[in-house]
Amino acid sequence: MNTGKGLSSQDIVRLNREYTLFSWSVQSTVAPIPAVGGEGAYFWDADGKRYLDFSSQLMNLNIGHQHPKVIKAIQEQAATLCYAHPGFATEPRGLLGEKIAQVAPGNLKKTFFCLGGAEANENAIKIARLFTGRHKILSRYRSYHGATHGAIALTGDPRRLSAEPAISGVVHFLDPHCYRCPFGWTKQACHRECITHVEEILQYEGPDRVAAVIMEGVTGSNGIIVPPDDYWPRLREICTRYGILLISDEVMSGWGRTGKWFAVDHWNVVPDMITTAKGITAGYVPLGAVIVSEPIAAFFEDKMLWCGLTYSGHPLACAAGVATLEVYEEDNLIENARAVGARLGARLEQIKVSHISVGDVRYIGLFSVVELVSDRESKAPIPAGVMKEVGASLKEQGLFTYMMASPQGSMVFVVPPLCITLEQLEEGLRSVEKALLISDQHVAEK
């Protein structure tokens, strides 16, 4: 078992805490896991404690930890050419571009490479504005698009608030969230205002002033919100009607996560751009991408693409990307996401029946969440203090996952690597069920 360079767990944590800043945290409260090694769906800390990874780190490590093929590709590329000027042509960049064009839907053909999801969205905004000559961008409230200024302006959730005023021209709309329908409908009596109000907002904003609508393929960190089947097709139709570009942010929902290459593939919708990152290299080396349609690519044949980054098309990242995409195919990971995902969905439905604190379960492929409520009637979220105890139980049991406790909802995410087996899934769900006894007890005592 690889335990790193020999620093004790205390020293690793101390150095990190003393000399580095942690994201989205009050610094004095962070208690980081001193991670030193991993394999497949597991990783371990400097004390040798092993964790089952139920969130693929930050929903990016889709192929699991330390896949030998990707490690080898990175090592070989490092030994050949670590870096090249972004204006140069390199083998890994060309091969990755070609591979992406093969798996991306419809006429999505050319890729602009960047370093992560936020940068992908920053560049997509610029491309949309250059291509259309329009300024406004529409995005949804229950969304996350990244932490840089433009991307956080697109973001609808409260992470946006501390950055405001960010960039101009972003207008938010409401979500197709059937469990907490913002229009008050039930699934049985739904009028799809989640679609029609977008058209109404467009009329107020002036459709000829709107460059793009950007939405997560399936909403991720705001709670795995899977839209109704006609949602993406009807939004596609509205955008086409007004000459507005449709952008699918597949940073989290892309690369097999939902059981297809991209989430929009479930509804046979071809957006004008896909922005992505995370699973493109499974996080082994940072990489982001904006995949644009043929007409957008053609537009820039004789016009300047006002986008640039020192690390655009980084050879090491592109080599990791080529190998990662081959792993998805060779290891049948997308099929596995579908097969194990089917079991996951069935198990989550059982969990909902047997635990009174579970208000809703939402899932597609290996992209899922358990939403916890104090009371099924009012749907009041389980309080943050109780969620903390649930999290402590999971950690103690050796299960690592992403959790959320906010007025928008209290949630335990189940987003394991796509290589997870049925046995490993069951092992993790047993830990989740044990931890849910804590939230169940909170509900019972109310």
Ligand X SMILES: Cc1ncc(COP(=O)(O)O)c(C=O)c1O
Secondary structure of the chain as H, E, C letters = CCCCCCCCHHHHHHHHHHHCCCCCCCHHHCCCCCEEEEEECEEEECCCCEEEECCHHHHCCCCCECCHHHHHHHHHHHHHCCCCCCCCCCHHHHHHHHHHHHHCCCCEEEEEEECCHHHHHHHHHHHHHHHHCCCEEEEECCCCCCCCHHHHHHCCCHHHHHHCCCCCCEEEECCCCCCCCCCCCCCCCCCCHHHHHHHHHHHHHCHHHEEEEEEECCECCCCCECCCCCHHHHHHHHHHHHCCEEEEECCCCCCCCCCCCCHHHHHCCCCCEEEECHHHCCCCCCCEEEEEEHHHHHHCCCCCCCCCCCCCCCHHHHHHHHHHHHHHHHCCHHHHHHHHHHHHHHHHHHHHHHCCCEEEEEEECCEEEEEEEEECCCCEECCHHHHHHHHHHHHHCCEECCEEEECCEEEEEECCCCCCCHHHHHHHHHHHHHHHHHHHHHHHHC
- Nearer to ligand X by C-beta: 24 or 204? 24
- Nearer to ligand X by C-beta: 325 or 382? 325
Q: Which residue is nearest to ligand X (CB)?
A: 117
Name the minimum Å distance from CB 216 to ligand X.
5
- Nearer to ligand X by C-beta: 59 or 358? 59
- Nearer to ligand X by C-beta: 207 or 256? 256
- Nearer to ligand X by C-beta: 134 or 145? 145
Q: Interface with ligand X by CB under 6 A: which residues?
A: 116-118, 144-146, 216, 220-221, 249, 251-252, 277
Name the minimum Å distance from CB 412 to ligand X.
17
Name the minimum Å distance from CB 222 to ligand X.
9
- Nearer to ligand X by C-beta: 220 or 256? 220
Name the minimum Å distance from CB 117 to ligand X.
2
Name the minimum Å distance from CB 197 to ligand X.
22
Name the minimum Å distance from CB 377 to ligand X.
31
